[in-house]
Structure 1
Amino acid sequence: MSTFILFIAGFFFSFIGSIPPGSINITTLQYALENRIKAAFSFATAAALTEYLYAAIAVRFQIYLTETAGISQYFQMVTGSVLILLGLFNLFKKPVESNVQTSGEKRNAFKKGVLLSLANPLAIPFWLMVTAYLQSMGWVEINGQNFWIYVAGISVGTFCLLASVIKLGSRFTAIQDNSFLTYKVPGLIFIGMGIWSFISPNQ
């Protein structure tokens, strides 16, 4: 399998998975609005590296499960169901207030990025499900040789989304206020993936 496809798959799902407002992109936006651009990029780098760690753990665990007899045959059905639930959660989730305010905080941005990202362990089950789905559908094939390419795509996708937040600045608040873009589009993508897993001939 092409390493480019693996990288793009990780990048794409990381990018869209980071769009809904959360502590990471809201804090990045806060730095940008305060014109603390270096701090913003430092924070984004820390968040991307932590995502790299969480994704690596999740993908390794997923590879182990799919290689375990009696488990791999159920993965497509389980991941399809979870992705549909995740999509429904996004569709019916109420928009959250970003509450972006000027802050006199002096803490190191990189350290803050690591701490906030570590406080988001939901990244592990998210990547476990997404990776299991992609493999069960035959869209990617992850092994010891290309494992790090896929995880690198995930990390770069997270960084690029946060870099977009920095560049867009105040315009990103308008995007966050658009519930169709921030919640419904990712939700519809996940629901579509889940439904496809049940009707796919690979099932």
Structure 2
Amino acid sequence: MTFILSFLLGFATAFIGISPPGLINMTAVKINLKEGKRTALWFVLGAVLVIFFQTTVAIFFARVIDGKPALILLLREIGCVVFAFLTVYFLWIAKKPKRKKGKIKKYSKSSRFFLGMLLSTLNLFPIPYYVLVSITLASYSLFSFDLFSILIFVSGVVTGSFLVFYCYVSFFERIESKADYIVRNMNTIIGSITGIITLITLWNISTYYLG
């Protein structure tokens, strides 16, 4: 029963953490609209693979980081810089995408797989997120740091993450009539999302120093 609870908690925390529109979600949608569902799912698999390692590392280091908020603050500061750069890139540097009619250029599935890994690696927020989640759950005796419980929890996270990404890809596939508008404004959407994340992170960092 404890292991089932660990899986469900991992699934739920992943679902909550990834459901809001984010860089990986919207990039998966963009790839789906331009290159097809299969290529988008390869991108998702690459992203989920990195999430698996990020979550595992986060939980194994949770006890070390517990009681040392300065380490969590450092991760937030690094993530803030990365997302600020991505905001500037998508809003002012990246070329405005256009949906091509007729034959669409196909990228290799392996290239999209590695792109998913790359973007997921740049997203540092899962590490402090799952550190805080695991510490909080452990404080309420809902989670333990033994090896098997960690593996079950991570399995739940991976399952929940993949399901959220799959829902994004499938949902946008059904609104084909809106595809032109979405593709034309995708960089603005992604840039706005990363900008909001940057502002939230800056607010969290400022409250730490001012509080």
* TM-score for both structures, normalised by structure 2: 0.61
Change (3 A) 1:38 1:117: same
Indicate conservation of the 8 Å contact 1:30/1:102, yes or no: no
Q: Which residue of 1 aligns with 2:4?
A: 4
Indicate conservation of the 8 Å contact 1:46/1:114, yes or no: yes
Indicate conservation of the 8 Å contact 1:24/1:113, yes or no: yes
State yes or no: 1:152 paired with 2:137.
Answer: no
Indicate conservation of the 8 Å contact 2:14/2:157, yes or no: yes
User: How far 1:142 sits from its partner (Å)?
Assistant: 3.0
Change (3 A) 1:101 1:113: farther
User: How far 1:32 sits from its partner (Å)?
Assistant: 2.3
The number of equivalent residue pairs is: 150
User: How far 1:30 sits from its partner (Å)?
Assistant: 1.2
Change (3 A) 1:101 1:4: farther
State yes or no: 1:140 paired with 2:131.
Answer: no
State yes or no: 1:161 paired with 2:184.
Answer: no
Alignment gaps of 5+ in structure 2: 73-90, 179-192, 194-211
- For residues 72-107 of structure 1, the C-alpha deviation after alignment (integer angstroms, 9 at most, x for no partner) is xx99xx9xxxxxxxxxxxxxxxxxx9x986485736
Whichever residue aligns with residue 28 of structure 1, its letter is: A
Identity, in percent, stands at 25
1-side partners of 2:97 and 2:22: how far apart?
12
Greater fraction of residues in helix: 2
Indicate conservation of the 8 Å contact 1:54/1:124, yes or no: yes
- For residues 113-154 of structure 1, the C-alpha deviation after alignment (integer angstroms, 9 at most, x for no partner) is 000000111211111111111111222223123211111111
Q: Which residue of 1 aligns with 2:107?
A: 106
2-side partners of 1:148 and 1:100: how far apart?
40
Secondary structure of the residue aligned to 1:138 is coil
* TM-score for both structures, normalised by structure 1: 0.63
Indicate conservation of the 8 Å contact 2:143/2:149, yes or no: no
Whichever residue aligns with residue 36 of structure 2, its letter is: R
